[in-house]
Amino acid sequence: MKNTATLLITCPDQKGIVAAIADFLFQHNANILHADQHQDSENNLFLMRVEWDLSDSDVNADNFNENFATIANRFNMHWQLKLSQRRPRMAIMVSQYDHCLADLLHRHQSGELACDIPLIISNHLDSKRLAEFYNIPFHHVVVSKENKIEAENRQFELFEAYEVDFIVLARYMQILSPEFVKRYPQRIINIHHSFLPAFIGARPYHRAFERGVKLIGATSHYVTEVLDEGPIIEQDIDRISHRDQVEDLIQKGRDLERIVLSRAVRWHVENRILLYANKTVIFD
């Protein structure tokens, strides 16, 4: 496992930011491995991701805040420090369709996703055997209109017990309450089976078929209180024709959903995403 730190920065755009950060890391004997930046002129914002090797550096998680405070205050920075050796803990929530869940579990087992999966929660029992195959605790929490508050409270208890850092909705077909979303801001990733903002809500493949579209897509986004309107992380599309029926759209769409969600999760785990103005910047 590599031993690196990643610094994510958002601040007003001005001269000297890159030079100040590079000089700071040089002064602390840090070897920069990756650095990327983005300027948004319309919002006068500067965003940056820089990753460095901690092996010989004398700045680390324990003393970074104290050492970096002068530069952060000078440029009015909002910053986050992430450590590669601290693997984030991802809870997966799923309903009956398990194609996205199966893809995530396979990629995790093969080492593509540098995170831990301490539990899977579902409002159906369909995925229990799959969870058992990968030796991941499975929790069945029934959700209905009558017990929604109680069900979410049970889910909160599980997240706390398993020390979950973020949540992935792998085709979890329940609308989360505002209270749920507020508890985990920018830490819930959803896959929507449509190329948003087209066909928000339920049955998008059926609506796409009725509309006679020539392209279908899938969108992974962070969840906000407004349904399917959170910051978009990744999207992809596939071409269809008049010969395709609803079942064909669903089949092609499932392939897109798997790919798009796995990319979004990987980028989140690798600390490549910065959010602003309901948008995301995805660093290479």
Q: Which residues are catalytic?
A: 228
3-state DSSP assignment of residue 216: strand
Helix (H, G, I), strand (E, B), or coil: what is residue 98? Answer: coil
Cβ atoms of 130 and 98 closer than 8 Å: yes
CA gap 41, 281 in Å, rounded: 14
Which pairing describes strands 78-83 and 4-12: parallel, antiparallel, or unpaired? antiparallel
CA distance 103 to 138: 17
Burial of 38-49, coded b for 16+ CB within 10 Å and e otherwise, reads beeeeeebbbbb
Phi-psi region of 158 (alpha: psi -120 to 50; beta: other; left: phi over 0): alpha
Cα 275 off chain centre by: 11
Work out the angle at residue 100's Cα, subtended by the Cα atoms of residues 95 and 101, and round it to the nearest 5 degrees.
65
Element (H, E) at 79: strand 78-83
Give dist(CA 252, CA 244) in Å, integer. Answer: 10
